[in-house]
Amino acid sequence: MFKLFSKNFLDDLWANLQILASIDDFQSNEVIIESKSGILIDALLKINYPKIKNKKVLNINDFLEDILYDQKESLRTKFELIEDSHNMNWIILNDENPHNLFSSMYTVINALLLNNSIKSIIGFVIKLTINYRNIHNETIYLIYRMDTKSFYPFCPTSEETGEQNREKENLIYNYLRENKFKLENNKKKWLGIWGIPF
């Protein structure tokens, strides 16, 4: 049953990422996917990988290199491991091509799932620049929570915890829903992440 759930989760995730990439392709510059996205991981992430032997998160470089650069014709999305100002650990992916960026993100998540490390992923964040109605060249983040398996918009107004623009989040929510992007309906589950390091 877990495998069925996992397959559906990955299928839904991939379908949503493709919708977002197509919005970026076809909606002129209403939604621009920025080159960096981040996977938020538990500091105690351990993986069953021969070169690493279950060490802490900062030693997963070889694992990520192998899964992202496993072939000569690999996409070569860049990555880095960082700890942000709130002591949260991130795998930051960097690629100018949104399709490659999302493919790499999916590959990392799938590899961690196959490695029985999916519980170590807290969520991930996609950075967007929005030009829509009264929003002009503003950064909005799409957050994906692993525990709810859903996306929602996040628009912080400062680095201070709790400061965010709910009106703009609702506007982007409606815009994405109109474009068939699946989002979390329960706004009580829209938890912000302040200090996103990209």
pLDDT score recorded for residue 6: 53
pLDDT digits (tens, 9 = 90+) for 105-124: 999 998 888 877 888 899 99
Indicate the average pLDDT of the chain. 84
What would the mean pLDDT of 86-115 be, rounded to a whole number? 90
pLDDT score recorded for residue 1: 33
Q: How far apart are CA 139 and CA 117, in angstroms?
A: 31
pLDDT score recorded for residue 2: 39
pLDDT score recorded for residue 118: 80
**Rounded percentage of the chain residues whose pLDDT exceeds 90:** 54
Better-predicted residue by pLDDT, 46 or 116:
116
Predicted TM-score (pTM) of this structure: 0.86
Q: Are 172 and 141 in contact (CB under 8 A)?
A: no
pLDDT at 17 over 50: yes
What are the extents of the domains in the chain? 2-189
CA dihedral 6, 152, 136, 194 (to 10 degrees): -100
Better-predicted residue by pLDDT, 151 or 48:
151
